[in-house]
Amino acid sequence: MIKNTVFFDHDGGVDDLLSLLLLLSTPETELAGVVVTPADCYPGYAADASRKLMDLMGETNATVAISTVRGVNTFPEVWRAQPYIVNALPELLAIEKPTTPLSNREGVDFVVATLSQITKPVTYLMTGPCTTLVEALRKQPEIRKKIKEIVWMAGAIHVAGNVRTYTHNGSAEWNVYWDAPSTHRLLNQKLPITLVPLDITNHVPVGIPFLKRLAHQSQYDVSRLASVCWAITINSIPGYDYLYHMWDVLATTFAIQRSLFSTQTMHVDVFTQPPNEGETVESPETGGLVTVVTKVSLEAFYDYLLTQLQRNFTKEIK
């Protein structure tokens, strides 16, 4: 079996951790490493949850690291607490000391070291802000040769954003808004970047019909844990504002099963100053050329996801 090697850069939300669970449930995927960017999480809790999920799924090769980069705009604290809640679930509480290693390298250094040493190019999957990767590229530009493609859940190009603050006009998506200057630098690196923006994720909600289907396969360990994780999200975002969507899980699925998707290339730029800081726009004159996911076969996606989650843990919970 020829495996797709993925380096996973996430920021610890429930959908980030579910994305990790999906990667670990896909036999065709080889995990090269995991770095936690401290954006939509308290990073220690996110790293603990990541290591415990890797333990449960029998991942023996990859290491987790914590980045210390800082963004410009802070995620809401109630969202950042989500990995603490995931760590309180019985399956994770039962693991006193995870065996998956926590690197003693700072996250940027870990990215540089891992990509420098790897023997084949990787898919660099990001479900949080891009700051860790941008700093790694600044520190060691040669690692760009080890990146086959960057798949990033980010942006709102032709739709409204999901940032709701008193000082913002609502045009930005959070992963970009956290550090718009780094986004601008990444878009101009001339790297192979695929964006999975709100334009497509808005069409893929985590709805009750999907959760019911997932509940009907709760005899599988992974399906049961995923059900509980998604249930946590029900009150994390007010329903009158917008629903929880398959933001990160959709991007992760694209990274491992892109036959379900359609894409197009376009030039994308980002504003770095208020009141529309972080707004991503199509801009043939100034933008960097990227690939953008534009369509997904919706029912095929849900079917694929449900099938991948029909797994049991490798580690026995005592």
The string of pLDDT tens digits covering residues 8-30 is: 999 999 999 999 999 999 999 99
Whether 275 maps to a domain, the answer reads yes
Question: Beta strand pairing status for 280-282 and 261-270?
Answer: antiparallel
CB burial class (10 A; 0-12, 13-18, 19+) of residue 8? buried
Is there a domain that residue 313 lies in? no
Which is higher by pLDDT, 79 or 133? Answer: 133
CB 8 within 8 A of CB 114: no
Q: Which residue has the higher pLDDT, 235 or 200?
A: 200
Domain membership of residue 174 (yes or no) is yes
Q: Is the pLDDT of residue 234 over 80?
A: no
C-alpha 181/C-alpha 72 separation (Å) is 9
Span 240-263, average pLDDT:
90
In this structure, what token pair is assigned to residue 228?
């509980």
Share of the chain above pLDDT 70, in %: 96
Average pLDDT over residues 310-314: 95
Which pLDDT belongs to residue 243? 76
Distance CA 238, CA 223 (A): 25
In a domain, 8, yes or no: yes
CA–CA distance, 179 with 201 (Å, rounded to integer): 21
- Is residue 301 pLDDT above 70, yes or no? yes
* pLDDT tens for each residue of 169-212: 999 999 999 999 999 999 999 999 999 999 999 999 998 899 99
Q: Are 137 and 184 in contact (CB under 8 A)?
A: no
Whether 240 has a pLDDT exceeding 50, the answer reads: no
| pLDDT-based confidence at residue 237 (cuts at 50, 70, 90) | low
Task: Kindly report, residue by residue over 140-164, the tens digit of the pLDDT.
Answer: 999 999 999 999 999 999 999 999 8
Residue 318 forms part of a structural domain: no
278 within some domain: yes
pLDDT band at 236 (very low <50, low <70, confident <90, very high): low
pLDDT digits (tens, 9 = 90+) for 80-93: 999 999 999 999 99
**Are 310 and 216 in contact, with CB atoms under 8 Å apart?**
no
Residue 289 belongs to domain with CATH number: 3.90.245.10
Question: Average pLDDT, whole number, for the chain?
Answer: 94
Domain membership of residue 181 (yes or no) is yes
Count of CB atoms situated within 10 Å of the CB of 202: 16
Contact 64, 34 (CB under 8 A): yes
**How many structural domains compose the chain?**
1
Q: Do the beta carbons of residue 181 and residue 271 sit within 8 Å?
A: no
CB 282 within 8 A of CB 266: yes
Model pLDDT for residues 68-81, shown as the tens digit of each residue: 999 999 999 888 99
| The pLDDT of residue 313 | 96
Q: Amino acid identity of 222?
A: V
Write out the residue range of the structural domain in which residue 110 sits.
4-308
* Residue 316 falls inside a structural domain: no
Token pair of 242 as six digits: 């917008």
Neighbours of 61 (CB within 10 A): 10
